[in-house]
Amino acid sequence: MSVRLRAVSGALIAVALLGGCDGGQEELQVWMDQQKREVKPNVKPIEPPKKFDPQPYAAAEGVEPFSQQKLTVALKQEARQTNAMLAGELNRRKEPLEAYPLDSMAMVGTVARKGQQVALLKVDALLYQVKVGDHLGQNYGRITKITETEVALREIVQDAAGEWIERTSSLQLQETAQ
């Protein structure tokens, strides 16, 4: 059989099959009409609306929560708090280790220099010597204590409410395998 003959016979078979599908539609339409007649919808009536009793606004004489005056007072208070805690920090010259976050620093040892403990910190493959009173980290950190195993520092950070608070942090001595 040639390709053309196969295509023509396939088309004829498809037409014959489609023609046979027409008989079941009458039966379907009868069934749908019967269902429409037998099924009665059960709809609950809508409840009448409740009576609305308007209430007078009693806070009209009170302080408006979004007033310019209240906002100005809050901003001044925040500025005073910021200035009190950060005044010294903002007016001093930044030290080199304040450009790095604490998690990029590693304490690798300590040495005693003139009776004072000095910590050795490794940052970006460079070794730095720090002493009590030096600043490091990006949160206004100031070293408060150095021991053989730890550098303790005080940081000034904002809490979840936006308030400036002090917190303590530390860098622990990092043991390296040799």
Q: How far is the C-alpha of 103 from the C-alpha of 155, rounded, in Å?
A: 14
Is the pLDDT higher at 115 or at 59? 115
Identify the structural domains of the chain with CATH numbers, from first to last: 95-172 (2.30.30.830)
pLDDT of the residue at 16 = 66
pLDDT of the residue at 20 = 58
Give 92-147 pLDDT, tens digit per residue.
889 999 999 999 999 999 999 888 899 999 999 899 999 999 999 999 999 999 99
Give 2-43 pLDDT, tens digit per residue.
667 777 677 777 666 666 555 568 888 888 889 888 888 788
Region 139-167: mean pLDDT is 89
Region 75-90: mean pLDDT is 72
Is the pLDDT higher at 51 or at 7? 51
Q: CA-CA distances (angstroms) from residue 69 to 73, 137, 151?
A: 6, 38, 46
**Rounded to two decimals, what is the model's pTM?**
0.54
Is the pLDDT higher at 165 or at 171? 171
Is pLDDT at 45 greater than 70 in this prediction? yes
User: Rounded to 5 degrees, what angle do the CA atoms 135, 154, 127 make?
Assistant: 40
- Which one-letter amino acid corresponds to residue 98? E
Give me the sign of the Cα torsion angle 101, 102, 104, 108. Answer: positive
Q: How far is the C-alpha of 147 from the C-alpha of 110, rounded, in Å?
A: 8
pLDDT of the residue at 132 = 94
pLDDT of the residue at 110 = 92
pLDDT of the residue at 107 = 93
